Structure 1
Amino acid sequence: MRMGIGLNLEQTQKLIITPELRQAITILQLSTQELMDYLEQELMENPVLEMKEEVEEKEVKETSLEEENEQFDVNWQEYFSDGSDLGYIRSPREHRSEEVTFEQFVSEATSLHEHLYLQLNLSLPPGQQRRIGNFLIGSIDDNGYLRTSIEEAAACLKCSPAEVEEALKLVQSFDPPGVGARNLAECLLQQLSQLKADSPLVVAIVQSHLEDLAAGRITRIAKALDISPVEVQDIGDLIRTLDPKPGRQFGGNQDARYIVPDAVIEKVAGKYVVLINEQSGPRLGINPVYRSLVRREMPCDDHTIKFIEGKLNSALWVIRSIEQRRLTLYRVVSSIVDFQMDFLEKGIKHLKPLNLRQVADTLEMHESTVSRAIANKYVQTPQGVYELKFFFASGVERRSGTAIASDSIKKMLQEFIQCEDPGEPLTDQALTDLLNGQGIRISRRTVAKYRDEMDIPPATRRKRF
């Protein structure tokens, strides 16, 4: 075969994701809080964008523009002559005049270490013991456990282990009970000691049989200590009232994470209405200075006009993407309302199985679009606040041919277990028979899986003597 160099011309089709499309996809899958952070970043990077808090009362007057000035990718002169808000439908916000009091401002909560330092300063004068106490408190983690040994502390402070032990006993007497312990058993024993409930049997179970107690091996503990299972069970109930992590009650305000629902479902005049949460996010507009520059109302060179043109195109895509996100989210939530009407009326037991394909086929969009629309988003319903992914639940089939969601089955299992006889708890097979009696085809293994997902112990551990 003869080899040579040639030039061929052929046509191919490729799917290219443009930066604008990538931006629209990113905005679609952002939650309300993430969208606010994203828009704040855009406001910092794009000088054309600005945040508008109030609704403009006067619209921009129409102006006649010459054709020779229309040299942009988007006809901005004609665009600005329209009084619309670049994709946003202006609606007046509610302004509530509420009195502001000092009680509405919550100061930062006291941390565990600040609480312990305060007690140490009140208990000891300045000196060697306070210095050791400060070191030990600094070595306590957020759960209240000491994460250093006596020997390491003595070596760092260049003092004797007896002095460290003495300071540790003082720290362990502070509030909250159990703080400064080196392991779980020591933590529980400290709390029992302050409750005056550290009897020899309780101490023996805490020191030697905690694992058996957690696993529900009551008879083994009773045989080892030569006592009745009822006594072991009573001691177990006492131990379960103690706090295994005494420091977690001092979590700061930064640990709190509040959910802002992206949509609200309300029942109005017998019908369910979907409202998209737009009050928490900023409303975007175009800076009036750049409006004037684009309209040629102010003198400006061609290089500056070109720069503004690029920023205007970017701002337009951001506003369009936000509006498209709002419309897509509204359509998806409205479709969920149509599918899960029984859940909204009667509760979680009437939740139906649903998948992305069903919603995508109804809305005539791709499954990936539905998946992005429900990602990291929450909805407020008459039954409570739920993640949108909650409504896309798997299920099992009834004998009648209809399907029931897995969350509905979990709710039924929870009700069966709450009504059971503590002396004869229902086994997984008994729960399976109850569900089969209601026409739900389900195996014992699936029942055990659902029970484990709800953190419900098996029948052997739920039994009461």
Structure 2
Amino acid sequence: MYTSPSPFNSLYHGPRGVTVHLAQTMRLLEMNSGELADEVARELDTNPALELVKDHTCPNCGRRIRALPCPACLDQHVGDGPIVFLSPRLPGASRIRDDEEGELPESLIPQTESLAEHLLRQVACAVDKVEQRVAANILARLDDLGLLDDHPTEIATSLRVPLETVVRVLGLIQRADPVGVATRDLRESLLIQLEVLNENGLVHPLVRKVLGEHWDQLAKRNYMTIARELGASLEDVEEVVRFIHHNLTPYPARAWQDAGGVMGRLARPVFYQPDITISLNPHPGGPLVVEVFTGVAGKLRVDPAIKSGLDEMTDVERVEWASYLDRASLLSKCIQQRNNTMQRIAEIVVVEQLAFILGGDSDLKPLTRSILAERLCLHESTVSRAIANKAASLPNGRMVPLSIFFDRSLAVRDAVQSIIRQEQRSAPLSDTKIAELLKPQGYHVARRTVAKYRQMLGILPANLRGREISI
């Protein structure tokens, strides 16, 4: 694999030129492909010495090609390892052709998306044109908290569509991400969130009874009154309250906005596109094909005409243009180094996590950033920069953050959920027992760790999972 020393070693100290090169490379390494495309576009606008040229040759074998991946490289690949290549096309764009212009489509650069756009995009595939119009109308009526004051009957009348159509579309919106938007009030929002959470059957009916039938007492924190009226213990009711606090979100529209850190009416930045796409080989049984997007729709280079014309310039002009040339040379070299590092990381990750990529969460192997850094002769901080804020598209279409390949808890959480799903409702398993059942699967975790993962999955403790409350 790759064992040569790397200039990305963050403890390397050398001449000033190397230090500047390193700092620039590390900065670019932290960017995802969309941010890098934005950076390149800005530099092309401000640096006349930087040039973007179309390049229709395979980055691996040098053959002229009409599209990536290179057919020759696919046919000549030896071994079971993945075929990993750098791709100058933008994620989501069509394959590169000879007659294409090497420009950056503005629509593919990360943009700010409103909540209405975010929700409409999710329901669009499940509705027809009339229902799309209904969805857009509903979303236009939301207030700043994401609540819908208008009754479905009023919406149906104004749009001259059947009430059933409005109710169906409203249900789709309410169950899209973030769950619980377009409801009449906070209580209805929480109840819908609970319904979605209960799709796996792991939410105790006591939670719904507290929310649905004792809302006023819950709002006043009269937990003893609720316990008495339900015939439950105070401890059970307090556990329900903790469950609600940990797993449900008041005003999910506002929380969705706050998560993005962007001011404005229910909007936050969203990145649609992956930095790496992992696909099945077009040849049955062949190795996976991994496309690492470079963020550059072509090849960057220093303008040769400007470089050759330095001798004819005045001293003042030469100093100015030399600065432009240095910037252009530095950026092109650093981007190349950044993308080569992303390619090396992608190759090892795909090899190590092949079972997860083709299977599911339970197949995730215990890969750490430090192990990967050692394999690549990099510092762990460099690997952390490389995987931060980036995503990969799996063969099944699932989009995951690169950090998921290093999430040691994911497989354990999946195992915890699987154990609880198979338990007898009349004899729920304690966290201690679950920890014991995990050991034969190779997961040695403490009881409190099981409790933590169970809470992350939105699953109640054993005393509330199994016992039916008598009302």
How would you bin the TM-score normalised by the shorter chain? Answer: 0.5 to 0.7
Task: Answer 1 or 2: higher relative contact order, Cα 8 Å, separation at least 6.
Answer: 2
Query: Which residue in 2 is equivalent to 1:207?
Result: 216
- Tell me the distance in 2 between the aligned counterparts of 1:180 and 1:407: 32
Deviation sequence 1:156-199 (CA, Å, 0-9, x none): xxxxxxxxxxxxx999x98799999998469999xxxxxxxxxx
- Tell me the distance in 1 between the aligned counterparts of 2:420 and 2:401: 26
- Given the superposition, is the C-alpha separation of residues 221 and 417 from structure 1 closer, same or farther in structure 2, using an over 3 Å criterion? farther
Q: CA deviation at 1:339?
A: 1.9
Q: Is the 8 A contact 2:301 2:332 kept in 1?
A: no
- Given the superposition, is the C-alpha separation of residues 212 and 434 from structure 1 closer, same or farther in structure 2, using an over 3 Å criterion? farther
Q: CA deviation at 1:292?
A: 3.0
Q: CA deviation at 1:382?
A: 2.6
- Given the superposition, is the C-alpha separation of residues 297 and 442 from structure 1 closer, same or farther in structure 2, using an over 3 Å criterion? closer
- Tell me the distance in 2 between the aligned counterparts of 1:256 and 1:276: 22
Query: Which residue in 1 is equivalent to 2:406?
Result: 392
Deviation sequence 1:388-432 (CA, Å, 0-9, x none): 2211233xxxxxxxxxxx211111111222333445433323322
Q: Is the 8 A contact 2:217 2:226 kept in 1?
A: no
Query: Which residue in 1 is equivalent to 2:9?
Result: none
Query: Which residue in 2 is equivalent to 1:42?
Result: 43
When Rg is computed on C-alpha atoms for both structures, the one with the higher figure is 1
Is 1:273–2:302 an aligned residue pair?
no
Aligned-residue CA RMSD (Å): 5.1
Q: Is the 8 A contact 2:275 2:293 kept in 1?
A: yes
- Given the superposition, is the C-alpha separation of residues 48 and 375 from structure 1 closer, same or farther in structure 2, using an over 3 Å criterion? same
Q: How do 1:288-367 residues align onto structure 2 when only pairs under 5 Å count?
A: 291-296=304-309, 300-367=313-380
Q: How do 1:116-135 residues align onto structure 2 when only pairs under 5 Å count?
A: none
Gaps of 5+ in 1: 1-12, 57-87, 98-103, 113-137, 146-168, 190-200, 234-241, 395-405
Deviation sequence 1:313-333 (CA, Å, 0-9, x none): 210110111111111011011
- Given the superposition, is the C-alpha separation of residues 351 and 310 from structure 1 closer, same or farther in structure 2, using an over 3 Å criterion? same
Is 1:419–2:427 an aligned residue pair?
no
Query: Which residue in 2 is equivalent to 1:221?
Result: 229
TM-score norm. by structure 2 comes to 0.55
Q: Per the alignment, in what secondary structure is the counterpart of residue 271 of structure 1?
A: coil
Q: Is the 8 A contact 2:50 2:302 kept in 1?
A: yes
- Given the superposition, is the C-alpha separation of residues 375 and 285 from structure 1 closer, same or farther in structure 2, using an over 3 Å criterion? same
Q: How do 1:48-447 residues align onto structure 2 when only pairs under 5 Å count?
A: 48-52=49-53, 93-94=96-97, 141-144=144-147, 184=186, 205-209=214-218, 220-223=228-231, 245=251, 254-255=267-268, 257-268=270-281, 269-278=285-294, 281-285=296-300, 291-296=304-309, 300-382=313-395, 384-394=398-408, 406-438=409-441, 440-447=443-450
| Bigger Cα displacement from structure 2, 249-258 vs 22-31 | 249-258
- Tell me the distance in 2 between the aligned counterparts of 1:257 and 1:247: 15
Q: Is the 8 A contact 2:310 2:318 kept in 1?
A: no
Q: Per the alignment, in what secondary structure is the counterpart of residue 265 of structure 1?
A: strand
- Tell me the distance in 2 between the aligned counterparts of 1:243 and 1:89: 40
Q: Per the alignment, in what secondary structure is the counterpart of residue 209 of structure 1?
A: helix
Q: CA deviation at 1:93?
A: 1.4
Q: Per the alignment, in what secondary structure is the counterpart of residue 414 of structure 2?
A: helix
- Given the superposition, is the C-alpha separation of residues 110 and 174 from structure 1 closer, same or farther in structure 2, using an over 3 Å criterion? farther
- Given the superposition, is the C-alpha separation of residues 244 and 318 from structure 1 closer, same or farther in structure 2, using an over 3 Å criterion? closer
- Tell me the distance in 1 between the aligned counterparts of 2:279 and 2:393: 8
Query: Which residue in 1 is equivalent to 2:126?
Result: none
Amino acid in the other structure paired with 2:444: R
Q: Per the alignment, in what secondary structure is the counterpart of residue 31 of structure 2?
A: coil
Amino acid in the other structure paired with 1:391: F
Query: Which residue in 1 is equivalent to 2:76?
Result: none
Q: Per the alignment, in what secondary structure is the counterpart of residue 288 of structure 2?
A: strand
Q: Is the 8 A contact 2:276 2:292 kept in 1?
A: yes
Q: CA deviation at 1:204?
A: 6.4
Q: Per the alignment, in what secondary structure is the counterpart of residue 381 of structure 2?
A: helix
- Given the superposition, is the C-alpha separation of residues 27 and 451 from structure 1 closer, same or farther in structure 2, using an over 3 Å criterion? same
- Given the superposition, is the C-alpha separation of residues 216 and 266 from structure 1 closer, same or farther in structure 2, using an over 3 Å criterion? farther
Q: Per the alignment, in what secondary structure is the counterpart of residue 270 of structure 2?
A: coil
- Given the superposition, is the C-alpha separation of residues 258 and 96 from structure 1 closer, same or farther in structure 2, using an over 3 Å criterion? farther
- Given the superposition, is the C-alpha separation of residues 342 and 203 from structure 1 closer, same or farther in structure 2, using an over 3 Å criterion? closer
1:457 to 454, 457, 460: 460
Q: CA deviation at 1:139?
A: 13
Query: Which residue in 2 is equivalent to 1:77?
Result: none
- Tell me the distance in 2 between the aligned counterparts of 1:308 and 1:443: 63
Amino acid in the other structure paired with 1:373: A
Query: Which residue in 2 is equivalent to 1:27?
Result: 28
Amino acid in the other structure paired with 1:37: D
Q: CA deviation at 1:380?
A: 1.8
Q: CA deviation at 1:15?
A: 5.3
Q: CA deviation at 1:378?
A: 1.5
- Given the superposition, is the C-alpha separation of residues 49 and 438 from structure 1 closer, same or farther in structure 2, using an over 3 Å criterion? closer
- Tell me the distance in 2 between the aligned counterparts of 1:50 and 1:23: 19
Q: Is the 8 A contact 1:377 1:387 kept in 2?
A: yes
- Tell me the distance in 2 between the aligned counterparts of 1:308 and 1:374: 36
Q: CA deviation at 1:298?
A: 10
- Tell me the distance in 2 between the aligned counterparts of 1:453 and 1:216: 27
Q: Per the alignment, in what secondary structure is the counterpart of residue 441 of structure 1?
A: coil
